[in-house]
């Protein structure tokens, strides 16, 4: 089946518009890694125009990640994240200008690490939200009639 580009674009637009800020951040990491991996392949195949365009997309995402840091809320954390994003950005410049695969891989490693960290954070947030909701549920306590209807023997 041939994918419909308009339907795919509409799906992505809806996904972005309905995502939480946390999910949007994950989408940025996913996009940066997807474009970065494609750029790495293009570099390996000496398709420099393609690698340039793909690396530029990753750089734009890194710029967006840097711009969304809330230095007034978490100054120390934001300072460290900004330094990581700046390092990755500079590595991408090196990869782009000198076709340096090591620099490309270094930038991808930073993005992989950040994505994994963000994934773990989202998992923790999800567990806390679920626990908070569960404690507010007004469920009846089990009684003997309920326990009699529950069979553990298939």
List of domains in the chain: 20-132 (1.20.120.340)
pTM of the model: 0.77
Higher-pLDDT residue of 139 and 40 is 40
pLDDT digits (tens, 9 = 90+) for 76-111: 999 999 999 999 999 999 999 999 999 999 999 999
What DSSP line would sit under 47-105, residue for residue?
Answer: -HHHHHHHHHHHHHHHHHHHHT--TTTSHHHHHHHHHHHHHHHHHHHHHHHH--HHHHH
pLDDT band, very low/low/confident/very high, at 10 (cuts 50, 70, 90):
confident
| pLDDT number for residue 154 | 53
The answer to whether residue 119 scores a pLDDT higher than 70 is yes
Higher-pLDDT residue of 138 and 117 is 117
């Amino acid at each position: 089946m041939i994918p419909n580009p308009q339907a795919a674009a509409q799906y992505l637009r809806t996904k972005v518009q309905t995502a939480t800020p946390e999910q949007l951040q994950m989408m940025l990491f996913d996009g940066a890694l997807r474009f970065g991996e494609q750029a790495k392949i293009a570099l390996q195949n000496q398709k420099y125009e393609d690698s340039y365009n793909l690396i530029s997309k990753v750089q734009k995402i890194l710029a967006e990640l840097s711009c969304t840091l809330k230095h007034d809320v978490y100054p120390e954390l934001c300072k460290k994240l900004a330094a990581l994003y700046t390092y990755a950005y500079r590595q991408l410049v090196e990869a782009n200008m000198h076709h340096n695969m090591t620099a490309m891989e270094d930038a991808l490693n930073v993005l992989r690490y950040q994505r994994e960290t963000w994934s773990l954070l989202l998992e923790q947030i999800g567990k806390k939200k679920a626990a908070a909701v569960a404690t507010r549920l007004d469920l009846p306590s089990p009684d003997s009639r309920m326990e009699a209807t529950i069979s553990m023997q298939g």
